[in-house]
């Protein structure tokens, strides 16, 4: 690329959090329990009951986000704060909390981007079968979404349906923390859950388009580029298989309203086909998102030969691909550096991912998560010199700018995370924020906020890139 283009003036520069990882106040003001509140957590990690205390601190936090120059903030709404048992009575105090949060953001010139569902299924719905109980969950998800739209659609333009459906389904048989709480599922159940998510999500998108035409809605999947381990044609095919299984099966159903044919054959051959009902294809076809939101942390590499090690039973990391016999096998990529937590750093892969998605679907893109987890402590100047994070962001934003220059429509970049929060399954010590929250796994201290070096870096970056 010889000449880089400028970002549009209305490009939204932001950062993200999710409700269960940031809010705390897990039983305050009438909130019901979610699967995240009741699951067993390893002794060495913090639970989610206090988290970053965003529920009580949001005003102070938003003031810092404003100081950083953010124009967007992506957060999720806690289903059980709005409807404590998932499908019954509405909790007025929960409704008011999100009105206040949204108003505070708008007052500070920050565009709210709302995720409807981010891993925190109401526990009482889980007890009724959760995402496996189609009639129950589709109805409950639609009801909950309608409550949100009726309350907040006048104030919120950008909506996200489900966070990382693909991660929940792909690793749901190997890792317990996402859509099952303490439960793992078999593949058959998972692909049924996935189908139920497609249907619920399609109905919610349709509801929005029919009744709230000024809003825009999208899924928020975790999409990554997948490389073949060599130039053997079979490895290229394995990479295509992995992309179908990890990325395109989901986006094809949500954007095109179609089951990807290669995935369909895989499901059929393995007896994993979900229970299709009459009218399902029409429901999927009718709904179409307005843009594609996605989370990107790392890329993956695969080969065709089967690994010699025994298939992992229990994954400790949701980003790591594994083996699917007959489709692909997992490989390390020796060309990439790793983060402290072992995730490959691949900014070129970020560009590959955006290009692949745009070429397939031609919808505007929004980055809803991208960032680096690291263990950190305040230094003697009450800050954290997180140069590794600055480097990570610099590289990824450089590739983003190349994509924009190549004509890919991108509307917003939201880094993960704004303030330090509890990692999805590795406690508070694994930090992602621009803002340090002073607590440890078990010692809550005063939870004071301290901008890290990356805070000032992002602030300058946003300021400079605008002009």
Active site residue 164: yes
Q: Which one of the spans 33-41, 202-210, 327-335, 422-430 is the region binding ligand BG6 (CB under 6 A)? A: 422-430
Please identify which residue in 126, 260, 318, 429 interacts with ligand BG6, judged by CB under 6 A. Answer: 318
163 binds ligand BG6 per the rule CB under 6 A: yes
User: Are 361 and 350 within 8 A, CB to CB?
Assistant: no
CB 364 within 8 A of CB 410: yes
Q: Within 10 A of 285 (CB to CB), how many other CB atoms are there?
A: 12
Of 15 and 284, nearer to ligand BG6 (C-beta) is 15
Sole binder of ligand BG6 in the list 7, 13, 18, 212 (CB under 6 A):
18
Residue 196: what are its φ and ψ, rounded to 5°? -65, -35
Q: Which of 219, 373, 427, 451 binds ligand BG6 (CB under 6 A)?
A: 373
Radius of gyration of the chain (CA): 21
Candidate list 23, 104, 151, 369, residue with the active-site label? 369
Under a CB-based contact definition with an 8 Å cutoff, are residues 190 and 131 in contact? Answer: no
- Span of 61-69, 123-131, 160-168, 356-364 interacting with ligand BG6 by CB under 6 A: 160-168
Of the candidates 104, 111, 151, 164, the residue annotated as catalytic is 164
Say how far apart CA 111 and CA 226 lie, in whole Å: 33
Of the candidate residues 176, 430, 449, 452, the single one contacting ligand BG6 (CB under 6 A): 430
Residue 424 sits in the site that holds ligand BG6 (CB under 6 A): yes
Stretch that binds ligand BG6, among 66-74, 163-171, 265-273, 377-385 (CB under 6 A): 163-171
Peptide bond into 417 cis (omega under 30): yes
Residue 323 CB, shortest distance to ligand BG6, in Å, is: 21
For residue 110, which of 62, 78, 151, 158 has the smallest C-alpha distance? 62
Antiparallel, parallel or unpaired: β 226-228 and 216-222: unpaired
Give me the helix-helix angle, 92-107 and 134-152, nearest 10°.
50
Give the CA distances from residue 25 to residues 8, 22, 353, in Å, rounded to whole numbers and listed in that order.
38, 10, 37
Binding string to ligand BG6 for residues 187 to 216, with x set by CB under 6 A, is what? ------------------------------
3 state SS for 278-313 = CCHHHHHHHCCCCCEEEECCCCEEEECCCCCCCCCC
Distance linking the first and last C-alpha atoms of the chain: 20
Q: Does 423 bind ligand BG6 (CB under 6 A)?
A: yes
Q: Is 161 in the site for ligand BG6 (CB under 6 A)?
A: no
Does the protein bind ligand BG6 through residue 369 (CB under 6 A)? yes
Does 167 engage in binding with ligand BG6 (CB under 6 A)? yes
CB of 257 to ligand BG6, least distance (A): 25
Interface with ligand BG6 by CB under 6 A: which residues? 18, 21, 163-164, 167, 222, 295, 318, 369, 373, 416, 423-426, 430
Catalytic residues: 164, 369
């Amino acid at each position: 690329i010889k000449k880089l283009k400028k970002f549009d003036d209305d490009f939204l520069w932001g950062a993200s959090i999710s409700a269960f990882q940031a809010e705390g106040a897990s039983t305050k003001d009438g909130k019901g329990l979610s699967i995240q509140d009741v699951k067993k957590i390893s002794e060495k990690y913090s639970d989610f009951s206090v988290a970053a205390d965003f529920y009580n601190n949001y005003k102070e936090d938003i003031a810092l986000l404003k100081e950083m120059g953010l124009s967007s903030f992506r957060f999720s709404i806690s289903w059980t704060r709005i409807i404590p048992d998932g499908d019954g009575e509405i909790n007025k105090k929960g409704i008011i909390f999100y009105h206040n949060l949204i108003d505070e953001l708008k007052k500070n010139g920050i565009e709210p981007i709302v995720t409807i569902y981010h891993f925190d299924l109401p526990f009482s719905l889980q007890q009724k079968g959760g995402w496996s109980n189609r009639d129950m969950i589709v109805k409950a998800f639609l009801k909950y979404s309608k409550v949100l739209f009726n309350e907040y659609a006048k104030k919120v333009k950008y909506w996200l349906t489900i966070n990382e459906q693909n991660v929940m389904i792909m690793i749901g048989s190997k890792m317990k923390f996402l859509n099952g709480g303490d439960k793992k599922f078999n593949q058959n159940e998972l692909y049924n859950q996935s189908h139920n998510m497609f249907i619920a999500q399609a109905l919610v998108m349709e509801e929005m388009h029919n009744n709230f035409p000024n809003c825009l809605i999208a899924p928020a999947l975790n999409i990554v580029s997948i490389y073949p381990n060599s130039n053997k044609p079979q490895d290229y095919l394995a990479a295509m298989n992995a992309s179908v299984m990890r990325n395109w099966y989901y986006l094809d159903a949500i954007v095109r309203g179609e089951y990807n044919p290669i995935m369909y054959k895989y499901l059929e051959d393995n007896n994993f086909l979900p229970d299709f009902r009459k009218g399902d294809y029409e429901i999927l076809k009718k709904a179409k998102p307005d843009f594609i939101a996605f989370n990107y942390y790392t890329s993956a590499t695969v080969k065709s030969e089967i690994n010699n090690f025994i298939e992992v039973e229990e994954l400790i990391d949701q980003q790591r691909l594994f083996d699917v016999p007959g489709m692909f096998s997992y490989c390390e990529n020796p060309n990439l550096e790793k983060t402290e937590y072992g995730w490959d750093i691949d900014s070129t892969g970020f560009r590959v991912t955006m290009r692949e998605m745009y070429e397939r679907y031609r919808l505007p893109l929004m980055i809803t998560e991208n960032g680096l987890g690291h263990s950190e402590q305040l230094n003697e100047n009450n800050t954290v010199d997180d140069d590794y994070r600055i480097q990570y962001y610099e590289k990824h934003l450089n590739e983003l700018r190349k994509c924009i220059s190549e004509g890919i429509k991108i509307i917003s970049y939201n880094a993960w995370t704004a303030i330090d929060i509890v990692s999805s399954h590795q406690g508070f010590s694994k930090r992602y924020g621009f803002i340090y929250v002073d607590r440890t796994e078990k010692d809550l201290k005063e939870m004071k906020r301290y901008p890290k070096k990356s805070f000032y870096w992002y602030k300058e970056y946003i300021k400079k890139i605008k002009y």
